[in-house]
């Protein structure tokens, strides 16, 4: 019997493998690096010191431009060559070695999981800083922004990071009334990459997906969350494993607090909130990449060990008394009477690298509140609440050596998506969406063009249009156009100018404003 089962498994593996492209055909995801990531601090600091030829502080300054994880991995490879192979820099500065260690640890998956052997490379505390003084036509926007970070090495493959500042004011204005509602310190964590698992503990940003405006399942508009995160790279056995290539698993448990809502269901009362998420994604070198993820926000977390082991929709059903499919009810030490304690969402990403210049096409599909699996029964219909996002990114448009980059993106989100009949588990953090920043009932058109006019002058044109998907439902309408220019005075200093036009319509209220800015940025 055992031999017959093994043979069937092998046959099924071969059948699936036949449908897949060549060996290691699937690439890593085209994820955007969160704006709050310590990687921007480190890259900006290293570029200021001349470790990244052709790049300077302004290329990594907060909010000016976002990069993918693959692009950051390329930057790390350039750093390796510059810091270890250049005879003029044979003796690596201890602080530079610490920065390189942290970046290798953070992007180990994209680097193939193989860090540069440290050997006897000296390490030391790395302190970075980036500041911008601004002269604006809008006095409410503030006269300056900045962020300071401290990075310490931890063992051979780990680091600790602490960072704070008001860097979010770089891109939030009157269209986003969240400005000022963020903690001064949003980054404080320790990460260690081990043989069994890569583990991160502390407060750090969350963002999944290739969308530039934001991820569908997890974005970084909301403040970063205290969490425990684990990651693991592995391979499937046999032919299927060779065809698919390496896979990467990621899971986190986060916690935060919101105001109690007196009218909520009894099992949704209280101030404590839990946010759990997991995904599995391809991590090879091919043209296609794929990831599937799920997340939930809840007011209770009974038997948390099973929440981390079982599929989330199975956990929700098994620990809810009103559910008809309590498959693992025998494991529950106690169940909750209804589904008002948990809001479940699922997400699928697919991207395709079209050419050697890394032009990529990507798509992101979000499924919200489908009461899985009960929500698919015809006898128990639920309103459709889904979101989708498609885009194209050409980092080297026209083959000009990266001097011109273009991104076009479109997102559509049904009315009611992210919301929930049980208000405490609506998919937000104190009113700020945990998913796509546009929120529900939206169609969003986005475009950005980056041009390196000279070795020192860079220009960017960016536009966003937000429309109501369902005109019978209330939702804001927004037009935003921005033009940016920066000129590098030296590697660690730049001057810049910005012009933004914003027009909003929310119900019967329409507002229009223009903002101009001159700025001076410095960093170390």
Q: Domains of the chain (ranges plus CATH)?
A: 24-300+336-523 (2.40.160.130)
Q: How far is CA 175 from CA 464, 480, 514, in A?
A: 12, 9, 12
- What is the tens place of the pLDDT at every residue in 332-370? 998 999 989 999 999 999 999 998 888 999 999 999 965
Mean model confidence pLDDT for the chain: 86
Rg (CA), the chain: 24
Which pLDDT score, from 0 to 100, does residue 22 have? Answer: 46
Report percent pLDDT > 90 for the chain: 65
Residue 19 pLDDT exceeds 50:
no
Which pLDDT score, from 0 to 100, does residue 14 have? Answer: 45
User: How confident is residue 507, by pLDDT bands cut at 50, 70 and 90?
Assistant: confident
User: How confident is residue 379, by pLDDT bands cut at 50, 70 and 90?
Assistant: very low
- The one-character DSSP state at 195 is S
Which pLDDT score, from 0 to 100, does residue 189 have? Answer: 98
Report percent pLDDT > 70 for the chain: 85
Residue 459 pLDDT exceeds 70:
yes
Which pLDDT score, from 0 to 100, does residue 113 have? Answer: 58
The answer to whether the beta carbons of residues 259 and 270 sit under 8 Å apart is: no
With residue 314 as reference, give the H or E element that holds it.
helix 312-318
* Farthest CA pair distance, the chain: 78
Q: How far is CA 25 from CA 114, 128, 285, in A?
A: 20, 39, 6
Residue 176 pLDDT exceeds 70:
no
Which pLDDT score, from 0 to 100, does residue 239 have? Answer: 87
What is the average pLDDT across 440-446?
A: 97
- Among 215-224, 236-245, 326-335, 434-443, the range scoring the smallest mean pLDDT is 236-245
- Among 291-300, 363-372, 454-463, 479-488, the range scoring the smallest mean pLDDT is 363-372
User: How confident is residue 143, by pLDDT bands cut at 50, 70 and 90?
Assistant: confident
Which pLDDT score, from 0 to 100, does residue 381 have? Answer: 57
Which pLDDT score, from 0 to 100, does residue 171 have? Answer: 59
**Of the candidates 91, 118, 101, the residue with the CA atom closest to the CA atom of residue 39:** 101
DSSP 129-183: EEEEEEEES-GGG-SEEEEEEEEEE-SSSEEEEEEEE-GGGGT--TT-TTTT-S-
Which pLDDT score, from 0 to 100, does residue 159 have? Answer: 95
Which pLDDT score, from 0 to 100, does residue 455 have? Answer: 92
The answer to whether the beta carbons of residues 520 and 136 sit under 8 Å apart is: no
Residues pairing with 344 in the sheet: 296
- The one-character DSSP state at 24 is T
């Amino acid at each position: 019997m055992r031999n017959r089962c093994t043979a069937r498994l092998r046959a099924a593996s071969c059948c699936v493998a036949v449908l897949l492209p060549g060996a290691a055909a699937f690439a890593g995801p085209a994820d955007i690096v969160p704006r709050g990531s310590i990687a921007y601090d480190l890259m900006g600091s290293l570029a200021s010191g001349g470790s990244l030829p052709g790049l300077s502080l302004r290329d990594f300054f907060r909010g000016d431009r976002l990069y993918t994880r693959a692009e950051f991995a390329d930057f790390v490879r350039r750093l390796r060559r510059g810091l270890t192979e250049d005879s003029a820099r044979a003796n690596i500065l201890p602080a530079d070695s610490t920065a390189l260690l942290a970046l290798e640890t953070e992007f180990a998956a994209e680097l193939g999981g193989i860090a540069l052997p440290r050997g006897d490379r000296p390490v030391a505390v790395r302190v970075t800083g980036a500041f911008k003084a601004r002269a604006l036509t809008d006095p409410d926007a503030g006269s300056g922004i900045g962020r300071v970070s401290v990075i310490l090495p931890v063992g051979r493959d780990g680091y600790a990071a602490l960072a704070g500042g008001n860097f979010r004011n770089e891109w939030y204005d009157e269209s986003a009334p969240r400005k000022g509602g963020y903690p001064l310190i949003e980054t404080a964590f320790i990460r260690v990459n081990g043989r069994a698992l890569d583990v991160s503990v502390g407060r750090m940003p969350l963002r999944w997906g290739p969308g530039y405006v934001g991820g569908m399942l997890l974005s970084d508009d909301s403040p970063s969350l205290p969490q425990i995160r684990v990651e693991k790279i592995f391979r499937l056995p046999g032919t299927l494993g060779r065809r698919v290539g390496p896979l990467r698993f990621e899971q986190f448990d986060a916690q935060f607090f919101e105001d109690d809502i007196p009218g909520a269901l009894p099992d949704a009362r209280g101030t404590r909130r839990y946010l759990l998420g997991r995904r599995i994604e391809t991590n090879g070198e091919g043209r296609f990449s794929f990831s599937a993820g799920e997340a939930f926000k809840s007011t209770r977390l009974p038997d948390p060990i099973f929440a981390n082991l079982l599929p989330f929709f199975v956990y929700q059903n098994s620990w809810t008394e009103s559910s008809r499919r309590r498959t693992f009810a025998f494991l529950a030490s106690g169940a909750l009477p209804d589904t008002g304690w948990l809001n479940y969402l699922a997400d699928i990403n697919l991207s395709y690298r079209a050419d050697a210049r890394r032009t990529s096409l990507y798509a992101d599909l979000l499924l919200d509140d489908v009461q899985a699996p009960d929500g698919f029964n015809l006898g128990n219909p639920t309103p459709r609440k889904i979101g989708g996002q498609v885009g194209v990114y050409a980092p080297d448009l026209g083959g000009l050596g990266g001097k011109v980059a273009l991104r076009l993106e479109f997102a559509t989100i049904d009315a009611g998506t992210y919301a929930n009949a049980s208000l405490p588990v609506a998919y937000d953090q104190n009113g700020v969406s945990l998913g796509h920043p546009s929120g529900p009932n939206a169609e969003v058109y986005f475009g950005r063009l980056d041009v390196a006019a000279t070795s020192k002058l860079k220009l960017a044109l960016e536009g966003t249009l937000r429309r109501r998907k369902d005109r019978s439902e209330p939702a804001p309408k927004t037009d935003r156009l921005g033009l940016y220019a920066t000129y590098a005075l030296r590697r660690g200093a730049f001057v810049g100018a910005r012009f933004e036009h914003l027009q909003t319509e929310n119900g019967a209220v329409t507002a229009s404003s223009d903002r101009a800015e001159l700025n001076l940025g410095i960093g170390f």
